[in-house]
Each structure stands twice: as structure tokens, then as C-alpha cells.
Amino acid sequence: MVRWFVGIAVVAGLGFAAVACETQEPYAQCELDEEVKKHVCDGSGQTATGTGTTSCLVTKHPHCVNSVCMSFFNRPSVCTQICKADTECPLGGVCWKFSDDKSVCVPQDQFCSVNKTDARCAGS
């Protein structure tokens, strides 16, 4: 009987480890709920405005491995992550200052399409 409980604990532990190791393509597309879009990220999201358009960040998105989904200047929303430097971003992404207290990884092509004069966009 003791072995059975130990076996359950080991299987449960392996199941937990598998969930913790979930992977996702960098910048995989994620959907923002119509209510979120309608109210421009009220509630668990935040907005940043610039260049006449809005970027939206939801930090508790259920379909993103890092729980962060962002629409960068009205482009299709993608899963991303919080960052402090460009080197933390996958696939040559750019760490963009979203707000005073948050920076997020943005695909470089999207970032450079609205920030052409930024030094990180030289040659793009």
C-alpha cells in the first residue's frame, strides 16, 4: 500500500514538471478578448499610446506561456515577456519601454516599423 502512494506522488511530480516545461514559439499569436479590445485593456491590462495608435498589454493571458499578450501599435497580438534588456528577448527582439514600470519584448520588425530612428533599427 505504501508503494502505491509513492507511485502516485512520483507520477504527480512528473506531471507537474511537464507543465512547468511547456514551450511556445517566440511571439506566437494570441487573441485578445473582444471586451478587452472594446475597453482597451481595462482590468488586468494596460495601454501605452504613441504615434496616434495604441498598444495593449495583458499580463494574465491564459494562452501565453509567460502570461503576457501584447498588441503593439494595433498589430496582431502576440505572446511576449517582460524584460529589462534586449538580450532577454528571443529572436532578436527589442525590449521596449511600455510604461514607467514595464518593458516588454517586441519583434524587431514591428518595433522598427514605428521607431525608424532608433539606433536598434539601423540597417533594418
Nearest to 47 by CA among 123, 3, 104: 104
> 14-47, pLDDT tens digit by residue?
444 344 456 788 999 998 877 766 655 544 445 5
Q: Please tell me the distance from the alpha carbon of residue 89 to that of residue 95, in angstroms, as a whole number.
A: 7
Q: How far is CA 68 from CA 36, 62, 65, 85, 121, in A?
A: 14, 9, 8, 17, 24
Q: Whole-model pTM?
A: 0.69
Spans of all domains in the chain: 25-121
How much is the CA Rg of the chain, to the nearest whole Å? 18
Residue 42: helix, strand or coil by DSSP?
coil
- 36 versus 110: the higher-pLDDT residue is 110
